[in-house]
Amino acid sequence: MPIYQIGPKRLVVGAHYGLKEWIIQRVTAIVMVVFTVVLLVDYCVTGSATYEGWSGLFSNQFMKLLTLLAFFSLFYHAWIGVRDIWMDYIKPVSIRLTLQVLTVLYLVACAAYAVQILWKV
């Protein structure tokens, strides 16, 4: 940590500035693009929208894992994007930190719900 960030001037909000977030934002985006293409191809191949076809697709173990990866990518991607929005527009540290904490809790809850949905099928 640089010396000027120690004491009252240190950064107290934000989650790792820099390259890591930037790369994750792009990796998670690509995972979601792949997932979207797979869904689209499946739709073009099967064509019809029935419950058997739809649930059959997600009962496949490979598809389950790919969907889970896509969902987790979505939540991490959303965390970085929404964190950027708070950092851009919300200046008071107390409000920004509160919003960031709520965002994380919200996304973790969404992730739990997504797992529950997928493993019911």
Partner 1 sequence: MVEAQQNVKKDRPVYRNIGLAQLIKYRLPWAGKVSILHRISGAVLFLLLPFILYLFDQSLASELSYQNFQAFTGNILVKIICLGLIWSFLHHFCAGIRYLLLDLEIGVEKSESNRSAIIVLIVGIALTAVVGLKLFGLY
**What is the C-alpha to C-alpha distance for residues 4 and 34, in angstroms, rounded to an integer?**
43
* Among the listed residues 24, 34, 66, 121, the single contact to partner 1 using CB under 8 A: 121
Is 85 or 93 the residue whose CB approaches partner 1 more closely? 85
Per the CB < 8 A criterion, the answer to whether 29 and 23 are in contact is no
* Among the listed residues 24, 34, 58, 97, the single contact to partner 1 using CB under 8 A: 58
Based on the shown chain and the rule CB under 8 A, indicate whether residue 20 belongs to the binding site for partner 1.
no
* DSSP-derived secondary structure for 41-104: HHHHHH-S--HHHHHHHHHSHHHHHHHHHHHHHHHHHHHHHHHHHHHHH--SHHHHHHHHHHHH
* Among the listed residues 12, 41, 65, 85, the single contact to partner 1 using CB under 8 A: 85
Query: Where do contacts with partner 1 occur on this chain (CB under 8 A)?
Result: 26, 29-30, 33, 36, 51, 54-55, 58, 78, 81-82, 85, 106-107, 110, 113-114, 117, 120-121
